[in-house]
Copies of this chain bind each other. A is one copy, B any other.
Amino acid sequence: MASITCSGSIALDTTRTPFKTVERVLGGAAAYFSMAASFFAPVHVVSVVGEDFPDKYWELLEKGGINMDGVQKKPGKTFHYDCSYSFDLYQRFANKTELNVLGEFEPIVPENARKSEFVYLATMPPEKQLDVLHQVDGKKLAFMDTIEFYIRGSSEALLRTIAEVDGIVLNDAEARMLAEEPNLVKCGRKISKLGPSITIIKKGEHGALLFHNDHVIPFPAFPLDELLDPNGAGDAFAGGFVGALAERNATKPNIADLKVAMAYANVMGSIAVEGFSVDRIVRASRDEIKKRFASYVELMSIH
């Protein structure tokens, strides 16, 4: 089976919602992505944590079948993100972003992770994303994410990175900023012209748009009565997407592969938000994921 190498942050998150506050729990894009993707294919993580990183979280990730050889443990503190949500969970406010050991992170991809066919570059400075990408000799299909900070700040390096990946996963605000265009369909087409043959624009509770060649395909989010913690939903979404492609060994995915992967992306995103931190993903099973996938496909089918 194909494997995935994912680089990005592992964090200790403090998340304040109207119902509950959780402090210094496992978070970070690479953690959410890997936990979600590991249901589908072997995952190698390339990241960094500080001396304060609890053993229980390290073990949780390893127990999930994630290869941690590429995770450096450095003197200092783990990346820390503290945020609050509005009463309806639709708005997030950052209280603190302490980069700590992530600030001087020099990614080193271990030997076995260099052979991965699939690469996912979670948000990092674009130069570092490119550095990881170049270290994975076996790569056949590479995806990236980014955030407004890098779109605004270092667009030359960002554009170079975008030109080298096969796919990009952004949220709607990021896509509009990158494409300088309000209509999301036009945004997707413009971003595809920067290089990636696969562009995904995430719209939170409204689902996502997939762009591939001339295709534009909308996917609604899996409808949920209860949403507890939106943190990491986008990363779990990406984990479901890349994971499902890796499971099928779809290194040159066609539209049918991409649709299945988008459905699994929505499934993993919907599971992630049903719990705080990675709690709900940890409690998920292959069987549950398959069942929610089947429900999603059935919801979508019209005959």
Interface residues of A (CB under 8 A from B): 87-90, 182-186, 189, 203, 205-207, 209, 216-227, 256, 259-260, 263, 296-297, 299-303
Q: Find chain B residues with CB under 8 A from A218 CB.
A: 207, 220-223, 299
The 10 A-B pairs of least Cβ separation, nearest first, read A218-B220, A88-B182, A206-B206, A216-B223, A300-B300, A259-B302, A297-B302, A220-B220, A185-B225, A185-B223
- Once the chains bind, are B185 and A224 in contact (CB under 8 Å)? yes
Q: Is the CB of B217 within 8 A of A219?
A: no
Could you say which of B88, B203, B216, B297 contacts A183, with CB atoms under 8 Å apart?
Answer: B88
Residues from chain B with a CB closer than 8 A to the CB of A88 are 182-183
Tell me the nearest residue of chain B to A216, going by C-beta. B223
Residues of B with C-beta under 8 A to A87:
182
* Closest B residue, CB atoms, query A222: B218
Asked if residues A183 and B225 are in contact (CB atoms below 8 Å), the reply is yes
Across the interface, name the chain B residue whose C-beta is closest to A262. B302
Across-interface contacts of A224 in B (CB, < 8 A): 185
Specify which of A87, A206, A209, A297 lies most central, judged by the most chain B CB atoms within 10 Å of its CB.
A206
Distance, CA A73 to CA B48, complexed state (A): 75
Copies in the complex: 2
User: Which of the listed residues A90, A189, A205 has the most CB atoms from chain B within 10 Å of its own CB?
Assistant: A205
Cα–Cα distance between A217 and B260 once the two chains are bound (Å):
18
Q: Give the distance in Å from the alpha carbon of A197 to the alpha carbon of B302 in the complex.
A: 20
Cα–Cα, bound, A221→B203 (Å):
13
Contacts of A183 in B (CB 8 A): 88, 225-227
Nearest CB of B to A240, in Å: 13
A222 partner residues in chain B, CB cutoff 8 A: 218
Chain B proximity of A68: nearest CB distance (Å): 34
In the complex, 10 of the A-B residue pairs with CB atoms within 8 angstroms, ordered by the A residue number, are A90-B182, A183-B225, A183-B226, A206-B207, A207-B220, A218-B222, A218-B299, A220-B220, A260-B302, A300-B301
Q: Which of B209, B225, B303 contacts A256 (CB 8 A)?
A: B303
Residue among A218, A226, A302 facing the most chain B CB atoms (10 A cut-off): A302
Residues on the B chain within 8 Å of A300, using CB: 300-302
A229 → chain B closest CB, angstroms = 14
A219 and B216 contact, CB distance less than 8 A: no
> Which residues of chain B have C-beta atoms less than 8 A from A225's C-beta?
183, 185-186, 189
State the Cβ distance, A195 to closest chain B Cβ, in Å: 20
The complex places the Cα of A256 from the Cα of B301 at a distance, in Å, of: 9
Partner of A217, one of B227, B297, B299: B299
CB distance from A222 to the nearest CB of B (A): 8
Q: A87-B182, A260-B302 are in contact. List 7 more A-B contacts (CB 8 A).
A: A88-B183, A183-B226, A206-B207, A209-B223, A259-B301, A297-B302, A301-B302
When distances are taken between beta carbons in the complex, the residues of chain B under 8 Å from A203 are: 206
The minimal Cβ–Cβ distance linking A161 to chain B, given in whole angstroms, is 27
Complex Cα–Cα for A227 and B225 (A): 32
